[in-house]
Structure 1
Amino acid sequence: MQTGNHLSRKGLTVWRIYGLIQSLILVLIAGGISAFNFFFFGLGWLYIVTISLLVILIVLIIGVLPSLRWKRWRYEVREHEIELQHGLFIVTRTLIPMVRVQHVDTEQGPILRSYNLASIHISTAATSHTIPFLDEIEAESMRRRISELARVAEDDV
């Protein structure tokens, strides 16, 4: 799917915030392991390796990956199906028939709320799919539209 709708550009910032939180956890774990190695085994050279790997990971997690994820994420809501496309190395394309949609939810945590964003969860009998980082108003109107289209599709069956 080359065409389709992008996620909100503010979603990039949210992915970077999530990356920052993940990076802080990584730094704490790596710092603890490095301190343990230094005090018990005297492996000072391990600090240089650990710091180098951490810097590379942090640049990837905060700088590179959110941009790539945003560029690859597409969604399109049609009359009879919803199409999702996402993935960095392995691109996943999903078609959700409207007749299979059981319910649609919007979700908004504290970080999304501060950026006026919401995510949509589309549930079928088999699984659940998410369209993340939509503008609040767009998410609500899309939730209503999918709900109406799913009702019409069920009536046709």
Structure 2
Amino acid sequence: MILEPQKRISEKALTVWRFSAFIKVAISWILAAVVIFFLHRFHVPLWIIVLLIAVELIFTYFSIYLIPSLKWRRWRYDVREEEIELQEGIFIVKRTIIPMIRVQHVDTVQGPLLRKYQLASVIVNTAATAHEIPALEESEAEELRRFISNLARVADEDV
């Protein structure tokens, strides 16, 4: 039995992801309205317009409700002395282990939407890539950044 990481990101991430999806869906509906206008203007069969609206409704449901919920339910992480373990994905679950010895530096980032909900993301940088732990409470993100930074410093001294 494989144990998955235990720590979860903030439940406020759902609100942030849903709001972000809402903006994308609103743009999609505007584009669909323009397409529907021209389809109607050029006397395209009604079933095509109905099909387009149905696709938009399904896209709206998936984008705003289903995908953020599945994404939040799957997102987990653990920080141990030797490694950082991340788990993410909706249909394909990706598990990543970052050896502490590979960590070069750790950042916290906070855009306007995350700031509004007092959230921040932690970015763990290695020589090869950067890994993000999204949407943590601000205090938790800062504490985690310091904790990982201290563990990475100890790991570098062991080399």
Compute the TM-score of the two structures, normalised by the length of structure 2: 0.94
Query: Residue type matched to 2:77 in 1?
Result: Y
Cα distance in 1 between the residues matched to 2:5 and 2:145: 21
Cα distance in 1 between the residues matched to 2:92 and 2:72: 15
Within 5 Å, which residues of 2 pair with 1:137-156?
Answer: 137-156=139-158
Cα distance in 2 between the residues matched to 1:96 and 1:41: 57
C-alpha offsets along residues 28-54 of structure 1, whole Å, 9 cap, x if unaligned? 222222222222353433221111111
Identity within the alignment, %: 51
Identify the match of residue 33 of structure 1 among 32, 35, 41. Answer: 35
Cα distance in 2 between the residues matched to 1:95 and 1:3: 10
Q: Secondary structure at the match of 1:122?
A: strand
Unaligned segments of structure 1, at least 5 residues: none
Q: Secondary structure at the match of 2:85?
A: strand
CA RMSD in angstroms, aligned pairs only: 1.2
1:120–1:132 Cα contact (<8 Å) kept:
yes
- 1:73 partnered with 2:75: yes
Query: Residue type matched to 2:18 in 1?
Result: R
Cα distance in 1 between the residues matched to 2:149 and 2:43: 61
Unaligned segments of structure 2, at least 5 residues: none
In the TM superposition, what is the alpha-carbon distance from 1:74 to its structure 2 partner? 0.5
**Equivalent residues, number:** 157
Cα distance in 2 between the residues matched to 1:40 and 1:148: 65
Q: Corresponding residue for 1:100?
A: 102
Q: Secondary structure at the match of 1:126?
A: coil
Cα distance in 2 between the residues matched to 1:131 and 1:3: 13
